[in-house]
Every structure is written in C-alpha cells, then in structure tokens.
Amino acid sequence: MTTVQDDTLKDPGALLAERPELAELSSAQLAPLENRTQAWPDSWRELARSLYISLVFGAQGLEDDAGAQLACELVLGIAADLGGGQLYINQGADIQRSAMAARVIALLAQHRQDYVAVARLVGITDRHVRRIEARWLRAERARRQRELPL
C-alpha cells in the first residue's frame, strides 16, 4: 500500500489529475461500497462514493473492502460532526482547472494529439482541449527559456 507523501499534498491538482471520475467507474467497481450504503440518505451515499474513489483508486490504493469500510466510517464521522447544518464545500476551481489541464495534456500524449477523443474522455469540447494545450505550450516555452544560460 502506498501513502500520500507530504509533497503530494502541496499540489492537490496532481492528486485530482490521477483520481478517476465517478462516471469512469463501473457498477462492479463501486459494488463493495454500494452494498454497504443502500439504506443511507443520498447525501451520505454521495460523500461515501467520493471518499471511496479517493481511497481505493487514489494514492492510498486501499483494497476495495477496506476502502469501502473506511469511506463508511468517515461519512458517519462527518454526519456526527457536521450533520444537521448547511455544509458548503468550496469547489476549488483553480485546483480543478489545473488538474483537468494536467489530465488533458497526459491524454493528448497517449492519444497522439487526437483532440476529439481527449475531449470526449474529459467531457469538454475539442476547442477547449486545444486552448488548454496552447496555454500549456506557452507556459512550457517560458519555463524552458528561463532556464537557458545567456
């Protein structure tokens, strides 16, 4: 089992880039959790799914049953500590954008610049994929030019 390193936590975008989306997972992959949470309220089930995905498919890499058990325990703790109140969870738009950009760039390399395929996988338009790539290329050029000995 791997553990999240302190330097990884400094870049949440890297964690999010590696984390699969709920839509990418099959019902069989979610079954260990879904079997445990059938009678739970929808809000609890959504939190449990999110935690399960991070625990099983993220940097922790827990086994399915262990991840499902821990996700359930964590949701019960959240419900006990924060239940009954209106909880607002910040979206972290900047982190999500950087995570999506990293994912787009990685997929472009895998799919040999197939913008339409990458757009379909990420859930954005191929024009948006091209804009992300253009921004990334500009940033890479700038970074490399700063490193040139003049």
Asked if residue 147 has pLDDT above 90, the reply is no
The dihedral sign for the CA sequence 62, 63, 64, 67 = negative
Alpha helices in the chain (DSSP H): 6-9, 12-18, 27-34, 42-57, 64-82, 93-110, 115-122, 126-146
Task: Output the pLDDT for position 75.
Answer: 93
Asked if residue 4 has pLDDT above 60, the reply is no
Closest CA to 52 of 92, 25, 87: 25
Asked if residue 78 has pLDDT above 60, the reply is yes
Asked if residue 1 has pLDDT above 50, the reply is no
Q: What single-letter DSSP state applies at residue 148?
A: S
Residue 79 DSSP SS3: helix
Spell out the domain ranges in the chain. 6-82, 93-146
Task: Output the pLDDT for position 31.
Answer: 92
Distance CA 2, CA 46 (A): 25
For 39-77, how does the pLDDT look when each residue is reduced to its tens digit (9 = 90+)? Answer: 999 989 999 999 999 888 877 788 989 999 999 999 999
For residue 52, give the amino acid letter. Answer: Y
pLDDT category at 93 given cuts 50, 70, 90 is low
Asked if residue 37 has pLDDT above 90, the reply is yes
Task: Output the pLDDT for position 48.
Answer: 93
Task: Output the pLDDT for position 2.
Answer: 46
Task: Output the pLDDT for position 122.
Answer: 85
Closest CA to 9 of 48, 58, 67, 45: 58
